[in-house]
Amino acid sequence: MLFTKEIIITGKVQGVFFRRYTCEAADAIGITGFVKNHPDQSVYILATGTNEQLEEFINWCWQGSPRSKVEKVEVKETGVQQFNSFKVER
């Protein structure tokens, strides 16, 4: 069964290749959806996968890219959305 989660990450997460690494992690885990920067310097992710995949992905979000410093990861349940892949939105 698939679920979709909204994930908002705050901290030093822009300008540190966070979106690129997020895309790689999502592909490796099997997550679909997208990641984008928000004007408030946070990163927004909409992710679809199984509960197990989403749990692994959210755990990865706490680590982030090598140069990031994640301070907070907010997760909200939302209605299931289908995506063909995971991509970076600009």
Q: How many whole angstroms from its chain centre is CA 42?
A: 11
Helix residue ranges, H only, the chain: 18-29, 51-63
Measured at the CA of 4, the angle between CA 7 and CA 82, to 5 degrees, comes to 125
Catalytic pick from 19, 59, 84, 90?
Answer: 19
Catalytic pick from 37, 51, 59, 67?
Answer: 37
Distance CA 73, CA 23 (A): 17
19 is an active site residue:
yes
90 is an active site residue:
no
Distance CA 2, CA 41 (A): 29
Catalytic residues: 19, 37
